[in-house]
Amino acid sequence: MINVSIAGGTGYTAGELLRILLHHPEVNIESVISTTSVGTPVAEIHRDLLGDTNLVFSETFHQPDVIFLCLGHGLSRAFLSDNNIPSSCRIIDLGNDFRNNPVFNNRHFVFGLCEQNREQIRTAMNVANPGCFATTIMLALLPLASRNLLKEEIHVHAITGSTGAGKKPGDTTHFSYRDNNISVYKPFTHQHLEEIGNTLKSAGNNNLPQVNFVPMRGDFTRGIFASVYTKWNGSLPEPEVIDLYKGYYRSSPFVFISQQAISLKEVVNTNKGLLHIEFHNGYIHITSIIDNLVKGASGQAVQNMNLMFGLDETTGLRLKGNAF
């Protein structure tokens, strides 16, 4: 069994991680760390786990094989500095501390996008989990980037559920604002742009054109729907583009190319990424959807853990979606 510790155990990503790991056949959760809820039963904070666990929040870890860092952005470095973690313990960070700056205290973090870095993840001791928007957009563009086919400006409009903003309520996350509402935030400046650019370049598109990204807040709780398009010069015939996508993701158990138009409910509560590709008036248009808390965070983190420990990467992640 893999002994697991979770740091920052009270937030949305930690709750989703617990939901998955409690039913993972190869995992023992040894500790769930929280600085604010020590001694409180986990199921009192994560109410959906009532009857599933008797775990209690603790101050520290014991002897884990892997620690998941579900801390606020910028706090993972402080945690690693303040705690004496054995070099034999693997680390999976769900924050943004190491995605673009992968070296810290003699630890090197592999970027944890399984669909691109599967083999590096298998041998990694430390993994930086990708961001949720970034995952959605990278899945849409990686096959084209791998063949250096992204030549013109890329346009992305993507909408996310309220859980993407974290558990702590704010002016733009509480019900009165989100209900029956939609809004743009951080247009052209979102923090995930850097990891998107780095990943597409490393995939083979060295001279990456500008990526114009307009994120939006949706009036729902979970999921990301991205509409991605760019001019298409026909350098690869349309049927061969579809074959390129299918071939690129052939060994990826959670990414599927749909012949029909896709909608968000088809991925909610699952670790799937669904893509749909069309061509219109000289443009290629890709729609890409994931659940921001599963494939965009905790599910992808478990997928990384499975690879790191030599398990089938789907272990514990065959989750049931909701069609209605």
d(CA 275, CA 261): 9
Residue span of the structural domain in which 183 resides: 132-292
Q: With contact defined as beta carbons under 8 Å apart, do 275 and 287 qualify? A: yes
Q: Return the pLDDT at 100.
A: 95
Q: Per the domain annotation, does 316 fall within a domain? A: no
**In this structure, are 117 and 13 located in the same domain?**
yes
**In this structure, are 142 and 216 located in the same domain?**
yes
What is the total count of domains within the chain? 2
Report which of 39, 41, 200 is spatially closest to residue 18, judged by C-alpha positions. Answer: 41
**In this structure, are 261 and 282 located in the same domain?**
yes
**In this structure, are 270 and 185 located in the same domain?**
yes
Q: Return the pLDDT at 235.
A: 84
Q: Per the domain annotation, does 94 fall within a domain? A: yes
* 89 included as an active-site residue: no
**In this structure, are 119 and 152 located in the same domain?**
no
Cα within 13 Å of Cα(274), Cβ side: 19
Helix (H) or strand (E) holding 20: helix 12-21
Produce one character per residue of 40-53: b if its CB has 16 or more CB atoms within 10 Å, e if not.
eebbebbeebeeeb
Q: Return the pLDDT at 104.
A: 94
d(CA 90, CA 95): 15
Q: Return the pLDDT at 175.
A: 83
Q: Per the domain annotation, does 57 fall within a domain? A: yes
d(CA 149, CA 206): 10
Q: Per the domain annotation, does 52 fall within a domain? A: yes
**In this structure, are 200 and 162 located in the same domain?**
yes
**In this structure, are 285 and 172 located in the same domain?**
yes
**In this structure, are 28 and 152 located in the same domain?**
no
Q: Per the domain annotation, does 164 fall within a domain? A: yes
Q: Per the domain annotation, does 283 fall within a domain? A: yes
Q: Per the domain annotation, does 321 fall within a domain? A: no
- Output the tens digit of pLDDT for each of the chain's 324 residues: 999 999 999 999 999 999 999 999 999 999 999 988 999 999 999 999 999 999 999 999 999 999 999 998 889 999 999 999 999 999 999 999 999 999 999 899 999 999 999 999 999 999 999 999 999 999 999 999 999 999 999 999 999 999 887 777 778 888 888 899 999 999 999 999 999 999 999 999 999 999 999 999 999 999 999 999 999 988 899 999 999 999 999 999 999 999 999 999 999 999 999 999 999 999 999 999 999 999 999 999 999 999 999 999 999 999 998 878
Task: Work out whether the CA dihedral 288, 102, 24, 307 comes out positive or negative.
Answer: positive
**In this structure, are 87 and 207 located in the same domain?**
no
**In this structure, are 145 and 124 located in the same domain?**
no
For residue 300, give the CATH number of its domain: 3.40.50.720
Task: Work out whether the CA dihedral 31, 33, 39, 42 comes out positive or negative.
Answer: negative
**In this structure, are 272 and 143 located in the same domain?**
yes
Other Cβ atoms within 10 Å of 144 Cβ, number? 27
Q: Per the domain annotation, does 315 fall within a domain? A: no
CA angle 129, 132, 135 (to 5 degrees): 75
DSSP track, 174-219? SHHHHTT--EE-STTT-TTHHHHHHHHHHHT-SSPPPEEEEEEE-S
**In this structure, are 33 and 98 located in the same domain?**
yes
Per-residue tokens: 206: 């060295």
Q: Return the pLDDT at 167.
A: 75
d(CA 131, CA 95): 8
Beta bridge partners of 213: 156
Question: pTM value?
Answer: 0.95
Q: Return the pLDDT at 149.
A: 96
Cα within 13 Å of Cα(144), Cβ side: 30
Whose tokens are 């084209």? That residue is 144
Among candidate residues 70, 89, 114, 132, the one labeled active-site is: 132
For residue 170, give the CATH number of its domain: 3.30.360.10
